[in-house]
Amino acid sequence: MLFTRLVARLIDRAIAMGYQATLGEVLRGKAQAQANAASGAGISNSLHLDGLAVDLNLYLNGRWLQNSEDHADLGRWWKAQHPDCRWGGDFKDSKGRPKPDGNHYSITFQGRA
Ligand SMILES: [Zn+2]
């Protein structure tokens, strides 16, 4: 599957860029997606429901990089891999205001990001 192949490359790329990485959430259940939507932490139709998104945690010199901007270089690289690749750092809320989720890397499916 394309997403899985691209995630393998994403991890390799992060390491080549000098980061250490751990894997966060990939597959999310519907109840969790609904809870995230209710709290504003996520959306109810997340691509995590289909295993088409990964939350990749980056570390540099042992420090966890928690800001979305810390993922900007890797996010740009991800988006260049395939026209359907989406990076959470570009996310906006329902009113079009930036709502970045920098460690989220996904591939669009049925119009969802
Ligand atoms: Zn995510």
Per-residue confidence in pLDDT tens, the chain, 113 aa: 899 999 999 999 999 999 999 999 999 999 999 999 999 888 888 999 999 999 999 999 999 999 999 999 999 999 999 999 999 999 998 899 999 999 999 999 888 77
Q: How far apart are CA 41 and CA 78, in angstroms?
A: 23
Cα of 62 vs centre of ligand 1, distance in Å, is: 22
Q: How far apart are CA 69 and CA 102, in angstroms?
A: 7
CA 8 to chain centre: 14
Amino acid identity for residue 69 in this structure: E
- Those residues whose beta carbon sits under 5 angstroms from the ion ligand 1 are 53, 55, 104
86 touches 113 (CB < 8 A)? yes
Cα of 55 vs centre of ligand 1, distance in Å, is: 5
Cα of 83 vs centre of ligand 1, distance in Å, is: 19
Cα of 85 vs centre of ligand 1, distance in Å, is: 13
Question: At what angle are helices 2-16 and 72-79 packed, to 10 degrees?
Answer: 140
Cα of 53 vs centre of ligand 1, distance in Å, is: 6
Q: pTM of this prediction? A: 0.93
| 3-state secondary structure at position 46 | coil
Q: How far apart are CA 84 and CA 35, in angstroms?
A: 27
